Structure 1
Amino acid sequence: MNTLAITGLFSPLGRRMARLASNFGVRVLGIDIKPLTKPFPGVEFVQADIRNPLLQQLFKSEQVDTVLHCAFRWRQRHHEEIFDSNVMGTMRLLGAAELAGVRKVVIPSSTFVYGADPNNPAFLDEGREFRGPVDYAYVRELREIELFVNGYRRQQPEMIITVLRFANILGGGIPSPMSRYMALPGPPTLLGFDPMLQFLHHEDALRALGHCLMGDYNGVYNVAAPDPLPLLKALRLAGLHPLPVPHVCAYKGTRLSRVLSRRGDGLPPLPWDYLRYSWVADTTRMREELGFQPMYDAETTLRQFGETLREYRYKHDPAYRLAREKWDLVRKAPARLHDTRRRAHAAWVAFRQVTQDEGGAA
């Protein structure tokens, strides 16, 4: 790999991958629509839109041979400009890469494309039909991107195009829908439903991307940590207290949805079906063909995420900090009461001993 171009340089994945690649001596060309506000050591920065027709000339002049596409923008509501940036931007990026002679393109995606459905098999392989709900912008746009990439790969078999369908990434400041769902004051759950879910530590997501940049893996691969866990157990491992909601209210209660949504746009971070039905991806190809194995299992990932979330809230949320301090006082109250009783009893025994000694002396 001579020159690595990273689109979406200021995204959490793009920023971390740029640092890692530069630390390994790779020449990194960072591309982002946002301006560079402070120095980024080891990265040559270009402020540009990936839809710019001059992107082909940039790739050719800088002799880019590998592209990591991290410019996807996660949104729940549909916005024409964001749709154009995510979907049309990916199309134009692949076109520019082909004309410039780029050898390899790596694209992060998500297992959200499969959808959560009562008829889903126990494990969803990479050839499974997409059933993700199109009313959520990020699901619809990931589906559109992958459908285009699948067709483009057949037209350009000489180009290596790797798509990694990540499970729910937690930690590292990556704004995945699952991390935003778990960051709600009371993550809602549907009464009577406890679907199996998969998770992925943010460091393992970076390792998987680096693994694909260093090797040649043409195709689509599911990436998830072992083992799948029920939703309620996952919330307990993260130290979170769920808010049970009747599914009728969840689906039909628009007002309730607006209260539960952090963005205030009437949609919770996750589609309700993803909290109702299982959507577990098959990771056989990840292990056998990609040759990748996550370092962190799901339980460790959830515990670390919960600790990080509580630390963040304690530092930045005065209401949470006050509630936590009051709760700690309440939790320690029985031990303090027991200690007070023990001291009082000891003082009373000592007092009686003194009075008995004085009476005997008299």
Structure 2
Amino acid sequence: MGAMTLGHTPGGPGVVVVTGVSRYLGAHVAARLVADPAVERVVGLDPHDPAAELAPLLDGVERIRADAGAVGGVIADLGADTVVHLALATAPEKQQGGRAAMKEQNVIGTMHLLAACQRAPRLRKIVVRSSSAAYGASFRDPAVFTEDTEPREVPRGGFARDILDIEGYVRGFRRRRPEVTATVLRFAPFIGSAADTTLTRYFAQPVVPTVLGRDPRLQFLHIDDALEVLHRSVVEDHQGTYNVAGPGVLTLSQAIRRAGRIAVPVLEPGLSGAAGIARTLGFGRYGLDQVDLIVHGRVVDTTRLTTEYGFTPRSTAAAFDDFVRAQHDGMLTGARLRAAEQAVLSGIRQVRDASRERA
């Protein structure tokens, strides 16, 4: 696993603009760039203040209170030669304003940002956060997706559809500014001791709802490896689209066992069946992006990444085990295991009783 190179790179990035610095990924990317002497200046664009634990990371970052959709001439005025676009909303329930606000930030925000980049004469590189959700998840999927694989059908989830729109805008930008290096990173779901996502909260539950008869193959990416790939994308030149994931796979059942949790298999009357049972048993909300993933799974090929970057992320299993170690206090043993089993049985009886009443 490669370490971040701190030596000066002749002709390295001058002014680097990072969007989304109020959140974990953006704050840590900006902090790493500030620490790299190859980078002259780092500017963070975000309309929000960072959480208290992230604020110290931004001490060396010049911050402008603006979102990606309101940058106008800011990119050109700053003389930016590199833009790192990380300001994506991944789940409507975490976004004030719900799905409409999520699409506004992701799709419209990216469109305006790329328009500003197009007008920036000094720009020579743009790095865009994407997701393996671009491939969708269905029973028609190939065993492994390469970067050239087209989704077999339009994804149902809002985030995945946003990703397709975003990548479409980037392709248009490449045609208009072919001299600019445009790097698109299709990240697998983040995991690790510091990751806090819908998926990590799913695996952190004492009992985990699954779909009866389904045991999908999953890939994860340690969030520290995502930071490394983003950093290399700024200080090196990597034109094109790259799958970024940990080698190897875990089936859903293997992941649940490794996490010390109990699986709750439920029938799937429709694609959102798992989400329905999760709500019924009080396990929170899951969008169709997450439901599709735990029903069908998704595996991507990372040959292009390892060849072009000379870097291999830690394996899916190793990344997941780091998450498990951080969750160790929540693992089920002894009396807690028996109590959880009783809670599952009680929940199943409640669902069955409700079904009989409706019948």
* TM-score > 0.5, shorter chain as reference: yes
- Counterpart position of 1:42: 60
Counterpart check, 1:98 vs 2:118: yes
Query: SS of the residue aligned with 2:230?
Result: helix
User: Structure 1 residue aligned with 2:173, among 152, 156, 163?
Assistant: 152
Q: What pairs up with 1:44-83 in 2 under 5 angstroms?
A: 44-52=62-70, 55-76=71-92, 79-83=99-103
Q: CA deviation at 1:252?
A: 4.9
Q: Deviations over 1:151-196 (max 9, x none)?
A: 3222321111101111121025444442232233422212222111
User: Structure 1 residue aligned with 2:255, among 234, 242, 248?
Assistant: 234
Counterpart check, 1:274 vs 2:293: yes
Q: CA deviation at 1:329?
A: 12
- Specify whether residues 275 and 325 from structure 1 end up closer, same or farther in structure 2 by C-alpha distance, changes over 3 A only: closer
**TM-score, normalisation: structure 2:** 0.79
Q: CA deviation at 1:268?
A: 4.7
- Counterpart position of 2:6: none
- Specify whether residues 97 and 188 from structure 1 end up closer, same or farther in structure 2 by C-alpha distance, changes over 3 A only: same
Return 5+ residue gaps in structure 2 as ranges. Answer: 1-12, 340-359
Query: SS of the residue aligned with 1:222?
Result: strand
- Specify whether residues 57 and 252 from structure 1 end up closer, same or farther in structure 2 by C-alpha distance, changes over 3 A only: closer
- Output the CA distance in 1 between the equivalents of 2:283 and 2:106: 22
Question: Equivalent pairs: percent with the same residue?
Answer: 34
Counterpart check, 1:16 vs 2:28: yes
Query: SS of the residue aligned with 2:69?
Result: coil
- Counterpart position of 1:219: 240
User: Structure 2 residue aligned with 1:7, among 19, 22, 44?
Assistant: 19
- Specify whether residues 183 and 100 from structure 1 end up closer, same or farther in structure 2 by C-alpha distance, changes over 3 A only: same
- Output the CA distance in 1 between the equivalents of 2:274 and 2:44: 44
Q: What pairs up with 1:77-156 in 2 under 5 angstroms?
A: 79-101=99-121, 102-131=123-152, 134-156=155-177
| Contact 2:137–2:155 (CA under 8 A) maintained in structure 1 | no
- Specify whether residues 174 and 88 from structure 1 end up closer, same or farther in structure 2 by C-alpha distance, changes over 3 A only: farther
Q: CA deviation at 1:263?
A: 5.0
- Specify whether residues 45 and 284 from structure 1 end up closer, same or farther in structure 2 by C-alpha distance, changes over 3 A only: same
| Contact 2:220–2:245 (CA under 8 A) maintained in structure 1 | yes
Would you say how many aligned residue pairs link Structure 1 and Structure 2? Answer: 316
**TM-score, normalisation: structure 1:** 0.79
Query: SS of the residue aligned with 1:242?
Result: strand
Per mean C-alpha deviation after superposition, the further-off stretch among 43-52 and 234-243 is 234-243
| Contact 1:132–1:139 (CA under 8 A) maintained in structure 2 | no
| Contact 2:193–2:325 (CA under 8 A) maintained in structure 1 | no
Q: Deviations over 1:300-326 (max 9, x none)?
A: 111110121234x5xxxxxx9xx8695
Counterpart check, 1:308 vs 2:326: yes
- Specify whether residues 121 and 82 from structure 1 end up closer, same or farther in structure 2 by C-alpha distance, changes over 3 A only: closer
**CA-atom RMSD, angstroms?**
2.7
Q: CA deviation at 1:128?
A: 1.4
- Output the CA distance in 2 between the equivalents of 1:269 and 1:172: 25
- Output the CA distance in 1 between the equivalents of 2:108 and 2:251: 36
Q: CA deviation at 1:261?
A: 7.1
- Output the CA distance in 2 between the equivalents of 1:260 and 1:286: 40
| Contact 2:246–2:315 (CA under 8 A) maintained in structure 1 | yes
- Specify whether residues 254 and 203 from structure 1 end up closer, same or farther in structure 2 by C-alpha distance, changes over 3 A only: closer
- Larger Rg belongs to: 1
Q: What pairs up with 1:225-264 in 2 under 5 angstroms?
A: 225-248=246-269, 251-252=272-273, 255-259=276-280, 263-264=284-285
| Contact 1:18–1:28 (CA under 8 A) maintained in structure 2 | yes
- Specify whether residues 200 and 254 from structure 1 end up closer, same or farther in structure 2 by C-alpha distance, changes over 3 A only: closer
| Contact 1:76–1:269 (CA under 8 A) maintained in structure 2 | no
- Counterpart position of 1:31: 45
Per mean C-alpha deviation after superposition, the further-off stretch among 112-121 and 28-37 is 28-37
Query: SS of the residue aligned with 1:162?
Result: strand
- Counterpart position of 1:298: 316
Q: CA deviation at 1:56?
A: 4.4
Q: CA deviation at 1:86?
A: 0.9
